[in-house]
A and B are shown apart, each in its own frame.
Chain A
Amino acid sequence: MAITSDRVAISRLINRFGFGPKPGEFASLLAMGLPAATSKLMTVPNSDAGIAAVIETDFPNRGKFPTPGTPERFSFEQLQKSDRINVELWWLDRMVLADHALTERMTWFWHGHWATSMGKVEYARPMKIQNETLRKYSLGNFKDQAQAMVIDPALMYWLDAGSNVKQAPNENLARELMELFTIGVSNYSEDDVKAVARGLTGYSVDRSAATFTFNANKHDSTSFAILGSTKSWDASSIIDLLVARDDNKKFVTDRLWFRFLSSALPKPSDIESSFNNRDIAPVMTKIASYVTKDDPGMSQVKSPVEWFVAVCRALKITPSTAQNRAQIINYLDKLGQVPFNPPNVGGWPYDEAWLNIASTQYRIGFTSFLLDQGDLSPIKGLSGLAMENALADWLGIAEFSTRTKAVLRSPGLTSAQIVIAALCSPEYVVNG
């Protein structure tokens, strides 16, 4: 296959297997060359000073909603709202501050995979606990991850698993478990959905505490068939069955390839075998080895959160301590992507969906808002070619197009205006 320059390959690595470079990071990766840069970006270090600087917030069990219309209800809802913003900013802080961002990037991917929304869950506590579970298994074993997620209180509440009893099974979790989380659509029958729902009966969820209990007398422990295997089932044995299937191997690696490298090009044939043991780290290393592929189909749009986090990393803005931090969430909402709030159980859209007049408009407004509090020192005092090169290195852009170079050279622009143009440029919004 045709091979790209190191600049292109490392720009892909730092933007897709991380959230874009901190100031100076891209240049230092370029200096060490592609093999060493790949190894550095794909190996999670034992400690991370950036993550250590994230302020931890406690999200205690807030208990049940008080009666509507009472003063207690009003203050409870204020508290809930504040919890929700705090947990959103807490995770954005992790993405922005991490020195080594692969773990957060993987957690972000898995959040889109097991897409659970606070819109229904309402409490921050179960969402944060789910997030910690996803992080724990983000580069671990997919079967362990699936075993933990099928009994994750937020996911269970989101998909009505807590109210699935043998007298009246609720199929919501059963269907999505197969269709969206493990084996993919058209690899099972409607009878299998009904059977998996029966096998998952008997749980109840305490949403505010983020706990579940299993009630054996509400569980259907009779013997019946799922995907051709007949026995008495429970959540754990259902996950064992689903994850062991070949269609699980294909489904998960398809999704990883699609979301990390290309929604346009087919997955190379040698990727699946690196997922034989369902270990996630080796398949990510394998996928990362394709960043050198020279093809326009390799380009990828930064989703709103990915774009925002990259901007904050470059400008040294910490979301939770930014001026007017609620406005940050507001802008992300207008752009269509707030962490912990996917639009539905299928997760967020990708690529073209983020390129339209509405998102372009909001991106311009958001950038102008952020620039007021950003650190522009990497291009301070520079002009002409030196400024362009410093800007590209700072932001992790392989190369500016002639179009964007012409804009950056427009006479009379301030540093801030130059940076706004660069952060909204097609080369920054779309990683080439």
Chain B
Amino acid sequence: MDTLSRRKFLQLTGMGAAGAAATQLSLTQIAEAAQSRPMPTGTPILVVVTLYGGNDGLNTLVPYLDPIYLASRPGISLTAKDVIPLGSDGLALNGSMTGFKTLWDRGQLAIVRGVGYPTPDYSHFSSMAYWQTGVPHSHVNSGWIGRWLDTQPHDPMRAIGLGSVLPPLLAGVKNAGSVLPLGGLVVPKGLVAKEFMALSKTSSSDTPLQAAAASSFGDLFSLSSKVQPVLAKPAPVPDDLPSAVGGNFGSDTSLSQQLDIVAKLVAAGAPTKVWSVSLGGFDTHADEVKAQSLLIGTVSTAVTKFLSQIHATDRANDVTVMVYSEFGRRVKANGTNGTDHGTAGPVFVMGQGVNGGQFFGDEPSLSKLVNGDLAVTTDFRDIYGSMLEDVLTTPVGEVIPGWSSKIDGLILKA
């Protein structure tokens, strides 16, 4: 298992935060915005959760009664005792996903099946680039949320990624999202602080990269003075967690740490409409059952807790969460109780505004594989269409070139 693929996964040659450089932003406005113009309640907020490494969709949403599934994966297939059935059509959640089952039963989780794009690419880097740019089989430098930012008035706080590196999905052509490191922001005090403030001025002799280095000093000081007090406050307390899943929320996973910060800032009224968080390690080529169950269980637990934290605020109706990975995995196990890179996988969409408790998109048939892989039944751009049009209220065609469709009924109209 690739244990280190998390937030840094994408920073490969040609794919780093290239678009962001041109838009190195002063975060002074962000800092002021957090206090002076809290976002009105009722403003929709999208939280994008990226699972790096290629999550095994078949061991996440499990066709546990299908004889082809069982026969294809001796050693790693899950059976009735390992899963949580969803209704009567033979699909079940991985047994670690008790939180998602609760959301499903409440009608707050919709599962889109068989999601991918035409002519799947099996490279982590290419496939994740296609998902994050929103343009398969192309080498554009901007991300889909970044281009959405381009349609909005300039505001560096409008989209924020948790971590120390800007994920490509937040880099637009003229605007870019901001990053917020997990440990919060600490700046020196006293005389040295004054020096560093002065280092933030740009100089006429600066190259573009030197100017960017200078502005990062100013950003550090202005953001830390305003955001740090918010981060120091306790996070909202979950208020509607069922006891069955309440017991194991003490685990301090990286994803739940990230979502804790998001919950605090959402509760504080930050004018941020899109948040990006992530978890890595899903590249399970070997001995995958335990590791993948643990990881996807972490996702289920962390997101369920987050939505319960949001439920305790006055923005319970405002937040939509989308969880995706760059591809699913091969139907057949490989020789090491793992799976190689595959194609389609499920996407999870959650929140009180989601038309949940049901599936969208057809489940790929295990008897009609394409080169041994699941056929893609839903284009991910249709999900982006729903997120853009029905959550962020922006026509999809303004963000995804030449795209006009969405998944009807996925998001409930307010």
Decide if A29 is an interface residue (CB 8 Å cutoff).
no
With a cutoff of 8 Å between Cβ atoms, the chain A residues found around residue B181 in the complex are 357-358, 361
Beyond A175-B122, A348-B11, is A403–B203 a contact (Cβ under 8 Å)? yes
Tell which of B122, B198, B334 has the most Cβ of chain A within 10 Å.
B334
Instruction: Check if B204 sits within 8 Å of A352, measured CB to CB.
Output: no
Instruction: Check if B198 sits within 8 Å of A406, measured CB to CB.
Output: yes
Shortest CB–CB separation between residue A9 and chain B, in angstroms?
15
Instruction: Check if B334 sits within 8 Å of A344, measured CB to CB.
Output: no
With a cutoff of 8 Å between Cβ atoms, the chain B residues found around residue A358 in the complex are 163-164, 179, 181, 185
- Name the interface residues of A127-167: CB closer than 8 Å to any CB of B: 160, 163-165, 167
Shortest CB–CB separation between residue B337 and chain A, in angstroms?
9
Decide if B340 is an interface residue (CB 8 Å cutoff).
yes
Q: C-beta contact mask, A392-407 vs B, less than 8 Å → 1, else 0?
A: 0000000101111011
Of chain B, the residue at the smallest CB distance from A193 is B122
Instruction: Check if A120 sits within 8 Å of B3, measured CB to CB.
Output: yes
Q: C-beta contact mask, B189-204 vs A, less than 8 Å → 1, else 0?
A: 0011011101101111
Decide if A169 is an interface residue (CB 8 Å cutoff).
yes
Interface segment, A38-46, A267-275, A409-417? A409-417
- Name the interface residues of B173-190: CB closer than 8 Å to any CB of A: 179, 181, 183, 185-188
With a cutoff of 8 Å between Cβ atoms, the chain A residues found around residue B336 in the complex are 160, 163, 168, 170
Interface segment, B208-216, B242-250, B346-354, B361-369? B208-216
Instruction: Check if B335 sits within 8 Å of A412, measured CB to CB.
Output: no
Q: C-beta contact mask, A368-408 vs B, less than 8 Å → 1, else 0?
A: 10000000000000000000000000000001011110110
Interface segment, A58-66, A83-91, A418-426? A418-426
Interface segment, A96-104, A294-302, A315-323? A294-302
Decide if B400 is an interface residue (CB 8 Å cutoff).
no
Q: In the complex the two chains form, what is the Cα distance from A365 to B21 in whole Å?
A: 24
Shortest CB–CB separation between residue A204 and chain B, in angstroms?
11
Q: In the complex the two chains form, what is the Cα distance from A348 to B10 in whole Å?
A: 9
Of chain B, the residue at the smallest CB distance from A359 is B164
- Among the listed A361, A410, A412, which residue makes an inter-chain contact with B220, where contact means beta carbons less than 8 Å apart? A361
Instruction: Check if A120 sits within 8 Å of B334, measured CB to CB.
Output: no
With a cutoff of 8 Å between Cβ atoms, the chain B residues found around residue A165 in the complex are 335
Decide if B239 is an interface residue (CB 8 Å cutoff).
no
Shortest CB–CB separation between residue A192 and chain B, in angstroms?
12
Instruction: Check if A357 sits within 8 Å of B4, measured CB to CB.
Output: no
Q: In the complex the two chains form, what is the Cα distance from A77 to B248 in whole Å?
A: 26
With a cutoff of 8 Å between Cβ atoms, the chain B residues found around residue A424 in the complex are 196, 199
Of chain B, the residue at the smallest CB distance from A418 is B195
With a cutoff of 8 Å between Cβ atoms, the chain A residues found around residue B223 in the complex are 357
- Among the listed A167, A172, A406, which residue makes an inter-chain contact with B285, where contact means beta carbons less than 8 Å apart? A172
- Among the listed B20, B208, B211, B335, which residue makes an inter-chain contact with A170, where contact means beta carbons less than 8 Å apart? B335
Instruction: Check if B27 sits within 8 Å of A410, measured CB to CB.
Output: no
Decide if A312 is an interface residue (CB 8 Å cutoff).
no
Decide if B399 is an interface residue (CB 8 Å cutoff).
no
Q: C-beta contact mask, A339-361 vs B, less than 8 Å → 1, else 0?
A: 00111111111111101111111
With a cutoff of 8 Å between Cβ atoms, the chain B residues found around residue A417 in the complex are 191-192, 195
Of chain A, the residue at the smallest CB distance from B285 is A160
Q: In the complex the two chains form, what is the Cα distance from A419 to B210 in whole Å?
A: 18
Decide if A117 is an interface residue (CB 8 Å cutoff).
yes
Instruction: Check if A185 sits within 8 Å of B126, measured CB to CB.
Output: yes
Tell which of B124, B203, B209, B335 has the most Cβ of chain A within 10 Å.
B209
Instruction: Check if A167 sits within 8 Å of B204, measured CB to CB.
Output: no
Decide if B6 is an interface residue (CB 8 Å cutoff).
yes
Instruction: Check if A355 sits within 8 Å of B199, measured CB to CB.
Output: no
Q: In the complex the two chains form, what is the Cα distance from A425 to B126 in whole Å?
A: 35
Decide if A224 is an interface residue (CB 8 Å cutoff).
no
The prevalent SS among residues of B at the interface is loop
Decide if B105 is an interface residue (CB 8 Å cutoff).
no
Decide if A336 is an interface residue (CB 8 Å cutoff).
yes
Shortest CB–CB separation between residue A65 and chain B, in angstroms?
13
- Among the listed B122, B199, B202, B214, which residue makes an inter-chain contact with A190, where contact means beta carbons less than 8 Å apart? B122
- Among the listed A169, A344, A357, A361, which residue makes an inter-chain contact with B27, where contact means beta carbons less than 8 Å apart? A357
Instruction: Check if B4 sits within 8 Å of A432, measured CB to CB.
Output: no
Shortest CB–CB separation between residue A420 and chain B, in angstroms?
7
Q: How large is the interface on A (under 10, 10 to 19, 20 to 34, 35 or more residues)?
A: 35 or more
Shortest CB–CB separation between residue B348 and chain A, in angstroms?
24
Decide if A306 is an interface residue (CB 8 Å cutoff).
no
Decide if B9 is an interface residue (CB 8 Å cutoff).
yes
Instruction: Check if B179 sits within 8 Å of A168, measured CB to CB.
Output: no
- Among the listed A119, A352, A421, A426, which residue makes an inter-chain contact with B206, where contact means beta carbons less than 8 Å apart? A426
Of chain B, the residue at the smallest CB distance from A162 is B336
With a cutoff of 8 Å between Cβ atoms, the chain A residues found around residue B326 in the complex are none
Q: C-beta contact mask, A174-218 vs B, less than 8 Å → 1, else 0?
A: 010001000001000010010000000000000000000000000
- Among the listed B8, B199, B335, which residue makes an inter-chain contact with A167, where contact means beta carbons less than 8 Å apart? B335
Instruction: Check if A343 sits within 8 Å of B201, measured CB to CB.
Output: no
Of chain A, the residue at the smallest CB distance from B4 is A119
Instruction: Check if A361 sits within 8 Å of B185, measured CB to CB.
Output: yes
Beyond A120-B1, A432-B210, is A258–B13 a contact (Cβ under 8 Å)? yes
Of chain B, the residue at the smallest CB distance from A218 is B335
With a cutoff of 8 Å between Cβ atoms, the chain A residues found around residue B179 in the complex are 356-358
Instruction: Check if A357 sits within 8 Å of B16, measured CB to CB.
Output: no
Decide if B2 is an interface residue (CB 8 Å cutoff).
yes
Shortest CB–CB separation between residue B98 and chain A, in angstroms?
25
Instruction: Check if A344 sits within 8 Å of B124, measured CB to CB.
Output: yes
Shortest CB–CB separation between residue B271 and chain A, in angstroms?
18
Decide if A239 is an interface residue (CB 8 Å cutoff).
no
Decide if B255 is an interface residue (CB 8 Å cutoff).
no
Q: In the complex the two chains form, what is the Cα distance from A404 to B200 in whole Å?
A: 9
Decide if B125 is an interface residue (CB 8 Å cutoff).
yes
Shortest CB–CB separation between residue A287 and chain B, in angstroms?
16
- Among the listed B207, B216, B340, which residue makes an inter-chain contact with A357, where contact means beta carbons less than 8 Å apart? B216
Shortest CB–CB separation between residue B282 and chain A, in angstroms?
12
Q: In the complex the two chains form, what is the Cα distance from A430 to B212 in whole Å?
A: 10
What 10 A-B pairs are tightest by C-beta distance, nearest first? A349-B11, A168-B335, A343-B8, A358-B181, A401-B203, A358-B164, A346-B12, A299-B207, A426-B213, A163-B336
A-B contacts, 8 listed (Cβ < 8 Å): A160-B286, A355-B24, A355-B212, A364-B187, A364-B188, A417-B191, A420-B192, A421-B195
Which A residues contact B (CB, under 8 angstroms)? 117, 119-120, 160, 163-165, 167-172, 175, 179, 185, 190, 193, 255, 258, 296-301, 334, 336, 341-353, 355-361, 364-365, 368, 399, 401-404, 406-407, 410, 412-413, 417, 420-421, 424-427, 429-430, 432
Which B residues contact A (CB, under 8 angstroms)? 1-6, 8-9, 11-13, 16-18, 20-21, 24, 27, 122-126, 163-166, 179, 181, 183, 185-188, 191-192, 194-196, 198-199, 201-214, 216-217, 219-220, 223-224, 285-286, 332-336, 338, 340-341, 371
